[in-house]
Amino acid sequence: MAETHADWLREMEAKSRAKQSAFVGGISQRLGRPRPTDAPAQPFRGAPEFWRGFEWTPEERIERFAGNWRSVGGHVARLPDMDAVREFIAGKAAEMGARYIVRQNEPELAALGLEEALPEAQVSVWNTDPDICWKARSAEADFGVVMADYAAAYTGSVAVLSSKDKGRSVSLLPTVLMIVLPVERLRTRLGEVLTEFDRAGRKRLPAGIHFISGPSRSSDIENDLTIGVHGPGVVYALIVG
């Protein structure tokens, strides 16, 4: 019997490695051939050929993205620059009476100067103080403010990637989510974003990649659509540029 939890994990690891060859070997046996050592050639990989060249103009991307986002109950604002973003968020915070705001620790958001624009509210910056429980801080927040890393117009989706400066909780726990999306990060197809992760490779992937396509929703009670079941119910995409 293992002494500490770490010992036990090591024990389980050894067991798992021993089991792996039998488990995978069993599959080879059922498939009726030895296990291939080289990567099998994929006859078809990814989307059909006719799809790969498909691209909208920047303006059409914005239009389609906004249309998709609105169709699922999300809100969209098209803003000329980051100053307008600050004004928009400050305006909404005043309108809704937001007191607690949590934002990602990103240079673009720091440059916004939300702290000065919202003297009434408490603005926290993700993971800047080791003594704070950042999950709880996000859970009590009225607004979460994040930058979109990528977006795909065809499905109306925004991708946010985690890091030490970018909490997964910030786009999940607050009541209202504000996503700042610079136009140059908006692509046409989902595949344009996904292939970035193949290109980056395992070692450079963050722990969490989250595609968000609108407010949290459910139709589990009598097929009646409910918004904001677990995640944010009010979601703004602020398209900048």
Partner 1 sequence: MSAKTAAGTVKERAELALNDDFLRKAVKFTTERLRNGKKNASAEHGNWDEWRERGRQIRLHTIAHLDYYLNQFVNNARANGVHVHFADTGADAVKIALEIARRKQAKTVVKSKSMVSEELHLNDALQEIGVEAIETDLGEYIIQLAGETPSHIVIPAIHKNRYQIADLLSEVAGEKLEADTTVLAGFVRKKLRENFLEADIGMTGCNFAIAETGSMVLFENEGNARMVTTLPKTQITLMGMERIIPSFEDLEVMATLLPRSATGQKLTMYMSAITGPRRSEDADGPDEMHIIIVDNGRSLQLGDPEFQELLNCIRCGACLNACPVYRHIGGHAYGGTYSGPIGAVLTPALNKNVAEWDDIANASSLCGACYEACPVKIPLHEMLIYLRRRKVEKGYGNKLEGAGMKGFAAVMGNAKRYRMAVKMGQIGQKLVVRDGGIRTKLGPLKGWNSYRVAPSLPKMSFRQRFATLDQEIREGLREMSPDVKSRMEEAIKRRKQDGGGHGHG
Q: Name the minimum Å distance from CB 103 to partner 1.
A: 14
CB closer to partner 1 out of 82 and 169: 169
Q: Which of 58, 113, 182, 206 binds partner 1 (CB under 8 A)?
A: 206
Q: Name the minimum Å distance from CB 26 to partner 1.
A: 6
Binding mask 23-42 for partner 1 (x = CB under 8 A): xxxxxx-xxx--xx--xx-x
Q: Which of residues 163-182 bind partner 1 (CB under 8 A)?
A: 163-164, 167-169, 172
Q: Which of residues 212-241 bind partner 1 (CB under 8 A)?
A: 212-224, 226, 228-232
Q: Name the minimum Å distance from CB 234 to partner 1.
A: 13
Q: Which of 43, 80, 97, 119 binds partner 1 (CB under 8 A)?
A: 43
Distances in Å between the Cα of 231 and the Cα atoms of 42, 164, 170, 175 are 38, 21, 10, 8
> How many Å apart are CA 4 and CA 46, to the nearest integer?
45
Q: Of 85, 64, 231, 59, nearest to 145 (Cα)?
A: 85
Q: Three-state SS for 197?
A: helix
What DSSP assignment string belongs to 12-26? HHHHHHHHHHHHHHH
Stretch that binds partner 1, among 55-63, 86-94, 96-104, 149-157 (CB under 8 A): 149-157
Which residue's entry shows tokens 């973003």?
85
Residue 84 lies near partner 1 (rule: CB under 8 A): no
Q: Which of 65, 150, 154, 236 binds partner 1 (CB under 8 A)?
A: 154
Give the contacts of 234 (CB within 8 A, at least 6 positions apart): 75, 175, 176, 177, 215, 228
Give the contacts of 99 (CB within 8 A, at least 6 positions apart): 120, 121, 122, 142
